[in-house]
Structure 1
Amino acid sequence: MHMNKITTVACPQCKKETIWNHSNCYRPFCSERCKMIDLGQWFSEDYCISHTDSNPEEDPAHQA
């Protein structure tokens, strides 16, 4: 007998355990509220992705 294992993850916003499958349309978040809070943090630039140049010589700002 094969038992389906239910995968759960912690919501990145509130840390509440939530089911990770297609029935959760907000995954990895637990709710629309947590998803929208996270999106707002990106818009307000609370989050950012760091950038490093792979070849600084190709960057026009570094050319003389």
Structure 2
Amino acid sequence: MTAPQPAARTVPCPTCGGPSAYSPANPYRPFCSERCRQIDLGAWASEEFRMPTEAPPDDAEFGDPRRQD
């Protein structure tokens, strides 16, 4: 007798919001399909998603070594 398999956990797809099986049986997880996975990849590639960063310091604040006063 084999142990019963737990039911696949369903999560919302990050792209379309539809149900997505979060299990090894779904090769696109956490996405629901190849299409949604590709849409997400395209959004990252076109820089629609960005990681927040601090602005670099202004060179004038620290003195630009290339500048000759």
TM-score (norm 2): 0.69
Give unmatched runs, 5+ long, in structure 2. Answer: 64-69
C-alpha separation in 2, matches of 1:28 and 1:17: 10
- RMSD (CA atoms): 2.5
Per residue, is there more helix in 1 or in 2? 1
- Deviation readout 1:5-26 (Å, 9 max, x if unpaired): 4211000001111110111110
C-alpha separation in 1, matches of 2:31 and 2:20: 7
Give unmatched runs, 5+ long, in structure 1. Answer: none
TM-superposed deviation, 1:2: 6.3
Percent identity over paired residues = 39
- Deviation readout 1:2-58 (Å, 9 max, x if unpaired): 6724211000001111110111110110000000001101111111001238xx8xx
Question: What amino acid is aligned across from residue 62 of structure 2 in structure 1?
Answer: Q
Work out the number of aligned pairs and report it: 60
2:44 alignment counterpart: 42
C-alpha separation in 1, matches of 2:24 and 2:5: 18
1:8 alignment counterpart: 10
Question: What amino acid is aligned across from residue 12 of structure 1 in structure 2?
Answer: P
C-alpha separation in 1, matches of 2:25 and 2:5: 18
